[in-house]
Chain A
């Protein structure tokens, strides 16, 4: 059996699921959203001057959706609506700010996935949390890995999402596809990871989380 066998190789949903179930859990420090320090993962990792600003931690969560396609696992991304105030038009994982009513970040991620793209919870099994990721915009994001059964149907909320697409895990976890992206903002050079998938560019927070996923499981 090859390690690239779509049904059982390292880019299969089954492999990713077993890896995540073994390695991930739901433990978060009690002060995960109140600690006045930057967590190890975040936009500041490549832009150290960001840590000069006072740390803000607006609690948020995203769903890192691994779709169990028989021909090999994919991840699902959204293209955020141009109408949004934050990160408009960017490629993103479904997710958003935590509500007071969300018992856990996993609940936030699934609620947002449902609101944004109509993904029903019944299709998703959460597998655990990746390390909190601090965005340059002040969000402290808990990435929730979820295995998604491919029988789902989506209904996009046009106020939040322009489009959705899937990219193969095999592409996303190939380090040759991890590039550095540089741009200027308010006179300062900024840098993040970037993956060019067809016409689309995944960069910023989402690419940072993907890079961490690679470091954790595929390096």
Chain B
């Protein structure tokens, strides 16, 4: 590694405490406008969010929820990957799947055209599915689907399995461009999950 790179690493290696202090001073109660910041990239200090939504520092889970929430307030998705960003530094964070987990959902006006589905994440963020918080579905293991909801910026939450099944019970079949699709409606928007005739293989159950 070149000397210049090392000095950057050293700068970033003030460790978790330094980063937490920077995150603290970067914001207040309101989430800081991380989308406006363009600091130099200061490398990687061994931060990772595993697919179960747990944050790790150099291989060990970060147990303190307030610290994780603080870091989440300065999390951003760049074209090169996820970063923690302050006005003065930017540090890579490896995200195995999605940075957040959707661990609960609440439905209002179920089964009507006004149906609204609200997700809550493992870090207590809320996202009301709709134009501002779209859902997307990706193929999962063994033919199933992985549902994601946009929390903010380009940061998504992966729905846990129980939330996924609950979401599926709220689904309906709609015709889009002549095709019968199974999906979920929220805030007036229909989010297709799969073709209606592939329900069985997508959910492993009789529709």
A residues neighboring B (CB under 8 Å):
17, 21-22, 25-28, 103-104, 106-107, 110, 121-128, 147
Contact indicator A27/B33 (Cβ below 8 Å):
no
If A17-B87, A17-B88, A126-B87 touch, does A27 touch B29 (CB 8 Å cutoff)? yes
Q: Chain B 19-59, CB within 8 Å of chain A: the 1/0 string? A: 00010011111111100111100000000000000000000
Instruction: Report Cα–Cα, A17/B25, bound state, in Å.
Output: 11
A26 B31 Cβ-Cβ under 8 A: yes
Find chain B residues with CB under 8 A from A17 CB: 87-88
Q: Tell me the dominant secondary structure on chain B's binding face.
A: loop
Among B44-88, those with CB < 8 Å from A are: 86-88
Contact B30 A25 (CB under 8 A): yes
In the complex the two chains form, is B30's CB within 8 Å of A27's CB? yes
Chain B positions 82-97 with a Cβ under 8 Å from a chain A Cβ: 86-88
A80 to B92, CA, bound (A): 41
Count how many chain B residues have C-beta atoms less than 8 Å from C-beta atoms of the other chain: 17
How far does the Cβ of A76 sit from chain B's closest Cβ, in whole Å?
A: 17
Question: Once bound together, how far apart are the Cα atoms of A121 and B31, in whole Å?
Answer: 19
- By a beta-carbon cutoff of 8 Å, the part of chain B in contact with chain A is 22, 25-33, 36-39, 86-88
A127 and B37 CA atoms in complex are apart in Å by 9
* 7 A-B pairs with C-beta separation under 8 A: A21-B25, A21-B26, A21-B87, A22-B25, A25-B30, A106-B36, A125-B88
Q: A123 and B28: CB pair below 8 A? A: no
CB-nearest residue of chain B to A105: B33
Grouping DSSP codes into helix (H, G, I), strand (E, B) and loop, the A interface class, with mixed when no group exceeds half, is: mixed
Q: Which residues of the partner chain B approach A26 to less than 8 Å between Cβ atoms?
A: 27-28, 30-33
User: Chain B residues near A110 (CB, 8 Å)?
Assistant: 36
Query: In the bound complex, how far is the Cα of B31 from the Cα of A45, in angstroms?
Result: 31
Residues of chain B within 8 A of A27, CB atoms compared: 28-30
**Contact (A121, B30) CB under 8 Å given A17-B88, A22-B25, A147-B87:** no
Residue from A26, A103, A123 having most chain B Cβ neighbours under 10 A: A26
The answer on a CB contact under 8 Å between B28 and A124 is no
**CA–CA, A126 and B38, complex, Å:** 9
Taking CB atoms, residues of chain B closer than 8 Å to A147 are 87
Inter-chain CA distance A121–B29, complex, in Å, is: 24
- Give chain A nearest CB distance to B184 CB in angstroms: 27
A182 to B39 Cα, complex, angstroms: 42
Query: CA–CA, A73 to B134, complex, Å?
Result: 44
Q: Is the CB of A126 within 8 A of B36?
A: yes
Q: Determine the chain A residues whose CB is within 8 A of the CB of B28 once the complex forms.
A: 25-27, 128
Contact present for A125 and B31 (CB under 8 Å): no
User: Chain B residues with Cβ under 8 A from A121's Cβ?
Assistant: 36, 38
A101 CB to closest chain B CB (Å) equals 14
The answer to whether residues A126 and B37 also contact, given A17-B87, A17-B88, A21-B87 and a CB cut-off of 8 A, is yes
A122 to B35, CA, bound (A): 11
